[in-house]
Chain A
Amino acid sequence: MSVEFSFLLVQALSGLASASSLFIIASGLTLVFGVTRIVNFAHGSFYMLGAYVAVTIVPWLLQIERSPTLFFIGVLISACVVGVLGVLMEILLLRRIYKVPELFQLLATFGVVLMVQDAVLHIWGPMDIAGPRAPGLRHGVMILDQRFPAYELFLICAGPVVLGLLWLLMHKTRFGILLRAATRDRDMVGALGVNQALLFTGTLFLGAFLAGLGGALQIPRVSASAQMDLSIITEAFVVTVIGGMGSIGGAFLAALLIGQLQAFGVLIFPKITLVLVFLLMALVLVVKPWGLLGRPEAAPASAMPEGIASPRRFRVFEKLLVALALLAAAMLPLFGDAYAVKVATEVLIFAIAAFSLNFLVGNGGIVSFGHAAYFGLGAYASGLLVTKLGMPMEPALIAAPLAGGFFAALFGFFIVRLQGIYLAMLTLAFAQIAYAVCFQWVEVTGGDNGIVGVWPSTWAASRIAYHYLVLAVAVLGIFALRHVIYAPFGASLRAARDSAPRAEAIGIDVRGHRWLGFTIAGAAAGLAGGLYAFSKGSIDPTLLGIPLSVDFLAMILLGGMQSVMGPVLGAAAFHSIKDVFMPLTDHWRFLLGASIIALVLIFPRGLGGAYASLRARFAGGAQ
């Protein structure tokens, strides 16, 4: 098949139109990150709201007169409405949590995502809503012998126009100059006596406005649906990371790159769209650890790191608590019903996974957005051995941590070379690549249907027997990991987290230690995944997915990432909240999101942190 020039041209134009749309959205995200350092998951929700508001307002305006002017006025009004919603989020939520650890801010914005999803369903109903086409831009334009939508030609221009306007704003206005200054050095701007609250509110308005604009501009192309938030947010993150967090020019470049890659990628690998952008991100980060145009994050001024400080041994009272909890878990089958046993089993499994994640995040300062990958790969290892090779449960369970550890070592080799948000995004990229392989390799993994028939050996088949098996493994696993945290290796990870230059200067191979830590955490997550597979009887790619990774993060944050045993508490709390709300209402995600936000606001250091300060107050009062 000969490929003629006109086709290539039009395909490139299609890529440019997508790039333009993507850039408008990503520019808002990168701006908000640059100034506030908040990884705003809710940015995708703003995009979705932009589309929903537009499909409501624009048809109403077009009833007055079907003119292009009114269409674009409607789009701008929608963007402004969303901008105001951004301001509301800043004032009601973010402003209260600027002082809490960055990960908590991320979790709070994730709570907003959940709430907005259900709010949208409630307000606009479950049906997709198709917006009107733009008057005057409905037709196709002949480009050589190919027809190309006029509206997309308009979009191609819109991206650079937004870029230009942003440039003018950033360089010609006081607000913009402050924004740039804050992106470089936040404390500096505060020291200059600038009203920081106002600056941040303005930034959130601008960020949400851009997201809303991106969404509103899409209505002639796609219908507004309740899933559009999550589908855009990962891509927007990829663009900002490839471009370099905080760099608007970088976002533009990255969007162009991704747009063209998608447009031509589908010609060569029609199934690769699932993973293409993540492959690109992984590649860019391995070669350029700060993105294309990002600058290295200034080494954080010697601030107290977030996470586990010197771990204390259990005191008598705490030993009692642990013993009680163990006793409760062991006795549960006697007084709880069958379902309670099942839930407890799951909590224990998630507790291992959460503990292993906090081993990385809390103890090592290595934030992973993709921890579910190792959990899922462990599950797949077990499941494949049982179903494909007919192995019994016992060896399959041993294979789970090996698989988790192997892939953690493989991916970790590249991951531990990076720092901060870039490291986190590379963990996400590898997780998505692993997800895509499990999803796509239908012959082996069963694709998205997954694998069924992964049941325990006969002796462990009953709920109760399996509960005891999981309890035993969880106690062993968690206490082994806990021991490592107290051991020189755990201390070395903390040392590297506190000050990498100092750790290197006393002879610690920081990268090597992080790599080993990453591998150990991956192995533990893999073990949890194996146990999970046998508790459910089936595995599928959602076990490697971003939502589960976010769940794990939520668990450690709710539990308190600075406490050693907090993640166990967090796993129990998170799972219980979900389990209580899910049967209550269709809008359980709203309640889950609201409780996450409430917990972040009430316990900004997690339940473990709340316990620690309670104990401190108690001890203080007793003296």
Chain B
Amino acid sequence: MTLLIVENLNKNFGGVVAARDVSFSLAAGEMLAMIGPNGAGKSTSFNMVGGQLRPDSGRVMLEGQDITGLPPRAISRLGVGRSFQVAQTFLSMSVLENLQMALIAYAQRTRDMLARADALFRDEALELLDQLGMADAAARPMNTLAYGDVKRVELAIALAGKPRLLLMDEPTAGMAPGERAALMRLVAGIARRAAIGVLFTEHDMDAVFAHADRILVLVRGEIIAAGTPEEVRANPEVQRVYLGTSGLRAALRARAAAHG
């Protein structure tokens, strides 16, 4: 069954169209990139799927269940994890505690007033960190981490909820180029292994063309093109409005690096 079906999402902000009839679908284990220039409505569409924004009209179906307009926490419980454009983690806690918190939330024990939080789900948390190569940093306070590591912890937090769908809003924004590739490889690997569907937006064309199975191109709130990286690259409309020549060159280079 298709994991995620988005049908005709519309959103206006005070007369400005941020999304118009946005429709797409996503299969389990598939990586779907959403690209477009600034202000194209990527984050808007993204946040309507994640529950942060309520669409004016349209439907979001997760494995056949209508999740349109549900609050983020409900969508999260249905198996949707997400990362934010600016990483959102619990800065006052240690890396390990961040993961424990996510696991406590997944176990729906956040109202527990008797147990001691630092004793819960330690092993599971360490295991998750290990998966992402962050086990050594477990005891470090979150606010001492380099930004790339923060992003990885955020990914670990998103994975703690055993998601079927992962929403990643510019997962590599603010990272050094070397780190970007590493993170995207990590995500791709996990997604394929655990059959998690990944919807991500990204400015970095290297990352998009190297890892996306399919690409959606948004301009002024509308999807103007969709398809495999090859199809999108070949689409003259996309070349004109978005990629430009330098972007195209980058895309080719990335593809070559990934498969070369």
Contacts and interface: CB of A to CB of B under 8 A. Distances in A.
Report if A and B associate in a common complex: yes
Interface of A: 301-305, 307-310, 483-484, 486-492, 494-495, 497-499, 501-510, 513, 516
A505 B76 contact: yes
Contacts of B104: 488, 491-492
Interface stretch (B82-90, B187-195, B202-210, B223-231): B82-90
A302 B157 contact: no
Contact of A491 (B91, B114, B117, B158): B117
A185 B87 CA distance: 21
A487 B112 contact: yes
B87 A508 contact: no
Contact of A301 (B86, B94, B110): B86
Interface of A is mostly: helix
Contact of B111 (A488, A499, A502, A503): A488
Interface residues of B, number: 45
A490 B106 CA distance: 16
A502 B90 CA distance: 8
B143 interface: yes
Contact of B105 (A305, A483, A492): A492
Contacts of A488: 104, 109-113, 115, 117, 120
B23 to A, nearest CB: 24
Interface in B79-134: 81-82, 84, 86-94, 97, 100-102, 104-106, 108-118, 120
Contact of B88 (A483, A502, A509, A513): A502
A302 B88 contact: yes
Given A490-B113, A494-B90, A508-B105, 8 more contacts: A487-B117, A491-B117, A495-B90, A495-B101, A498-B93, A502-B154, A507-B106, A507-B161
Contacts of B72: 501, 504-505
Given A302-B86, A502-B89, A502-B90, A507 B112 contact: no
Contacts, number: 129
A489 to B, nearest CB: 5
B259 to A, nearest CB: 33
Contacts of B94: 310
A339 B83 CA distance: 58
Question: Which of A498, A501, A502, A504 counts the most B-chain CB atoms under 10 A from its CB?
Answer: A502
A401 to B, nearest CB: 15
B92 A506 contact: no
Given A491-B97, A492-B101, A492-B105, A499 B117 contact: no
A507 B77 contact: yes
B77 A499 contact: no
Contacts of A310: 92-94, 97, 118, 141
A509 B73 contact: yes
Contacts of A486: 116-118
Contacts of A491: 93, 97, 100-101, 104, 110, 117
B236 interface: no
A452 B41 CA distance: 65
A504 B76 contact: yes
A507 B91 contact: no
A497 B90 CA distance: 8
A496 B91 CA distance: 11
B50 interface: yes
A496 B131 CA distance: 26
Residue from the set A483, A506, A508 with the largest chain B CB neighbour count within 10 Å = A506
A574 to B, nearest CB: 25
Contacts of B50: 505
Contacts of B100: 491
A270 to B, nearest CB: 44
